[in-house]
Chain A
Amino acid sequence: MGVVILLVMAAGVAAMLTRKLPTAFALVLLAVVIAFLSGAPLTGKNSVLDTVLQEGAPALAATMVAIILGSWLGKLLDETGIAGTLVRKIVEFGGDRPTVVALGVLAVSALVGTVTGSAPAAMLAGIIGIPAMVAVGVPKVTAAGTVLMGIAVGVPFELPVWQFFSTALDLPVDTVRGFMVKLFPFALVAAVAYVVIENRRRGTEHAWSLKSVSARPAPRRERLGDAPWYALLAPVVPLVLALGLDVAIIPSMLAGVLYALVTTTRPGEMNKRLLRTLYGGFEVAAPPLALFVAIGILLAAVKLPGAVDALEPLMKAVSPQNPVLFVIVFTVLVPLCLYRGPLNVFGLGAGIAGVLIATGIYPAVAVLGMATSYNQVFGVADPTSTQTVWAAQYAGVSPQQVMVRTLPYVWLVALGGMCVTAALYL
């Protein structure tokens, strides 16, 4: 039966890869099929309806709340001009040195990446950051990659991601935080190396573009002044509270929302702005929320006793126990997290992680190391991930060009993460 379950998983990956089914729908379908194949009854204990669907759907509720708060804060950073001001200041200070501007946009992207993820994060940093880099001579592919690499620097400190791995892998937040702190230097070094090396290799680029002026006058846009300097600290407030002062994730994020609000908004306008950005945040959060409902359902399915019994011998046979082999095998398998592949942690990879833990093949913290290492690759180089698609299209290049340019750097980040995992937890 284990082989049949794996074949069903492969079919699910094919459906996602070929875009026959959206990832969230494919994961739910997979979960129901796996549950039936595992011999789960329709209702009752360890059943399809009561356990997989009813208990699985809200399993990642804490993550979903964190996602909503992150999206809310992201909307506030956008509406209050905090993100735009950060980028503008960087261009004004470093504009005649493209590498300096790119490093500045990288830093802003990292800050944004600690608050929110996916395409909204890329938009926050990239809507002004990408054309601003192109305007000072950074080539387009390098510019798109810079925003993505920057967001990936922030991801180890993205509080909703801590909450996700904590809930999904049943680990304390402290353990997740401890590993993320170890992963961060790899992400930072790789991102800085990307900006410096790629700018040096590709040099600058200036074009006489037909898009530089339009025959139509530019539409009147809402004029946002610069946000005050102390408001620019808003993205780091949740981080300081959660990382430095050990405050729980949701209150830390709420504090960030309040800080961004009171430093930029007149008292009379606060209620209106809070509600508007909160509802806007729901819209931004909708895709990841759907995905987290689906992942919760899939995790519930692969943890069913029948599924664990069926998959355990197979997974044990193919999973390396030797630390060196662990690093080599799982680093070589990095491309399997691209194109919605089976190791994508926001897809079937979450299910595989659940199987590895439920069957006791690896300790949960080792699976955390593996999954977060893959997450650093997926978030930057996957041509089907929304932030990569958005950043590439907005820069006027293809997601595949961005993948080719960034993959070597994030592959090294994954290698670093695997080495730390093997050294500390195997």
Chain B
Amino acid sequence: MSASRAPVTDGLAATDDIGWAVRLLAATPTHEHRDPELLRRWARAADAFGAALAPVGCEARVVERDGGLELGLLARYTSRPPTVELFTDTLALAERVVDARGWRDWYPPGSVRAAALAHEAVHVHLHHGPAKAALKHALGHSALRLGRLRVPGHVAGAEEVAAHAYARTVCGLGRSPLLLTAALAAEAEARSGSANGSNPPPARDARREN
């Protein structure tokens, strides 16, 4: 497994859970120009919100399927019809990565699947209930201020941070699933790099005629 020898992945675990949440927010479009300290504050607020959520059941249909590595996905929630897809090939790779990195204490056997279900359950919860407004309130971001009038602003990516924090808490994981996601991303990148020999051309370079 290439994960054990890829130099870029050295010390992934040295970054704390909030650090990974900040990286997720920083990589989310609309935050390109944000102050890192503001992103850290939002990451903390979203993480605390997710960790404090009462356990929610997942009433969506659960489907297991292959092809997650090709899509770059571990799990996916779609609202019509409410369905959670779990990608078995990515889950299997995740278990192997946990073993290879010696992270079994943090992610016990079968916990990645449970975390995926918990993560998507939060998306269902936020999609259908009033919790989304509560998350917005917890983040405290204003889209507009006119005297006393304050319009709360949406923070893209915060829901994802909250979902990971919830999964970490309810599944009793030692570290955030975001750390495992970063390790999986490195593994998938190493695999696609060795398969293709080089990176695919970016979409910007698509042949242009008009």
Contact = CB atoms under 8 A, between A and B. Distances in A.
Interface of A: 22-24, 81, 84, 87-89, 91-96, 118-119, 123, 127-128, 131-132, 135-137, 139, 201-218, 221, 223-226, 287-288, 290-291, 346, 385-386, 389-390, 393-394
Given A89-B143, A92-B141, A213-B182, A218 B26 contact: yes
A20 to B, nearest CB: 13
Given A84-B32, A213-B24, A224-B33, A135 B206 contact: no
B145 to A, nearest CB: 12
Contacts of A225: 33
User: Would you list the 5 A-B pairs with minimal beta carbon distance, nearest first?
Assistant: A95-B154, A203-B80, A203-B79, A393-B203, A92-B153
Nearest to B144: A93
A132 B210 CA distance: 26
Given A23-B210, A91-B156, A210-B90, A132 B23 contact: no
B110 interface: no
Given A135-B157, A291-B209, 5 more contacts: A22-B209, A135-B160, A213-B182, A217-B23, A290-B209
B178 A213 contact: yes
Interface string B81-98: 000000000100000000
B133 interface: yes
Contact of B209 (A96, A205, A206, A386): A386
A96 B133 contact: yes
Given A24-B209, A204-B78, A223-B33, A135 B123 contact: no
B4 interface: no
B156 to A, nearest CB: 4
Interface residues of B, number: 60
B116 to A, nearest CB: 6
Contacts of A81: 33
Interface in B161-210: 163, 177-178, 181-186, 188-189, 203-204, 206-210
A213 B73 CA distance: 12
A284 to B, nearest CB: 9
Nearest to A22: B209
A287 B177 CA distance: 45
Nearest to B135: A96
Given A93-B143, A393-B206, A202 B28 contact: no
B80 A201 contact: yes
A386 B208 contact: yes
B100 interface: no
Nearest to A221: B32
B74 A128 contact: no
B120 interface: yes
B150 interface: no
B136 to A, nearest CB: 7
A208 B184 CA distance: 12
B52 interface: no
Contact of A202 (B76, B80, B141, B163): B80
A389 B143 CA distance: 33
Q: Among the interface residues A88, A95, A131, A215, which one has the most CB atoms of the partner chain B within 10 A?
A: A215
Contacts of A221: 32
Given A22-B209, A212-B160, A88 B181 contact: no
Nearest to A217: B23
Given A93-B151, A203-B79, A386-B207, A208 B32 contact: no
B72 interface: yes
A205 B79 contact: yes
A143 to B, nearest CB: 11
A218 B77 contact: no
B143 A210 contact: no
A204 to B, nearest CB: 5
A163 to B, nearest CB: 15
A51 B157 CA distance: 59
A135 B29 contact: yes
Contacts of B182: 213-215
B208 A206 contact: no
Contacts of B210: 23, 118, 287-288, 291, 346, 385-386
Q: Among the interface residues A96, A118, A123, A217, which one has the most CB atoms of the partner chain B within 10 A?
A: A96
Contacts of B208: 118-119, 287, 386
B2 interface: no
A136 B135 CA distance: 14
A62 to B, nearest CB: 17
A119 B206 CA distance: 9
B75 interface: yes
Contacts of A84: 32
Contacts of B123: 206
12 contacts: A87-B30, A92-B30, A92-B153, A127-B29, A212-B27, A213-B23, A213-B27, A215-B9, A287-B210, A346-B210, A389-B203, A390-B203
Contacts of B188: 210
B206 A386 contact: yes
Contacts of A223: 32-33
Given A136-B154, A210-B185, A96 B132 contact: yes
Contact of A214 (B27, B78, B127): B27
Contact of A210 (B20, B132, B181): B181
